[in-house]
Amino acid sequence: MGTGTSWAGFVQVARTIDNFTPYVRLEKADLDQMDNYFNQQASGQSYRKGAAGVKYDLNLKAAIKVELSHTNLVDRTLENYNEIRTQYAIRF
């Protein structure tokens, strides 16, 4: 059994203005491809991601979020893709 080094992290900046919370986020993951755990997974690749979005609080218990992101995969495949994500969240 060998040793490997992997790490992941992100930084996010947001500001709430009335019911709106715009934000930007940068993510980075360096996943050791010699580690069988990551190597066996389809999603076990290193990546860099930038995202921007806005969350709108409908009331104290519900919110809607829209996020745009760009991802660069950097290990097994050199691939870039964009996403638009939406979320409806309920707090309890």
Instruction: Measure the CA–CA gap between 46 and 92, rounded to whole angstroms.
Output: 35
> What pTM, to 2 d.p., does this model score?
0.83
Residue 92 corresponds to which tokens in the numbers above? 């309890």
* CA atoms 12, 33, 81, 72: torsion sign: positive
Boundaries of every domain in the chain? 7-90
pLDDT top residue among 67 and 39: 67
- Residue 32 reports pLDDT greater than 90: no
The predicted structure's pLDDT at residue 72: 94
Q: Collapsing DSSP states into helix, strand and coil, what is residue 34?
A: coil
